[in-house]
């Protein structure tokens, strides 16, 4: 399934969880209602550049 740019933008702006990795990269998750799955977006240290984005099968909101 292709990940839409609008989903990435939504996740960056409306995360349900945010974590900062030891290397400074920022992980953000948001539920994409359209597909009923959680998207994980990894940003570089600048907080703007998208390094990676994928649906996280193991994410559990809690």
pLDDT (tens digit per residue) in 7-56: 999 999 999 999 999 999 999 999 999 999 999 999 999 999 999 999 99
How is residue 41 written in tokens?
A: 């977006």
Rounded Cα distance, 38 and 48, in Å: 20
Strands laid side by side in the 37-43 sheet = 17-20, 26-32, 37-43, 50-55
Tokens 């099968």 correspond to what residue?
A: 57
pTM flag (> 0.95): no
Based on C-alpha coordinates, what's the Rg of the chain?
A: 11
């Amino acid at each position: 399934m292709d990940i839409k740019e609008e989903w990435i933008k939504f996740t960056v702006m409306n995360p349900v969880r945010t974590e900062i990795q030891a290397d400074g990269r920022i992980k953000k998750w948001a539920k994409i209602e359209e597909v009923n799955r959680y998207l994980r977006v990894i940003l570089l240290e600048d907080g703007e550049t998208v390094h990676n984005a994928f649906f996280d099968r193991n994410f559990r909101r809690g």
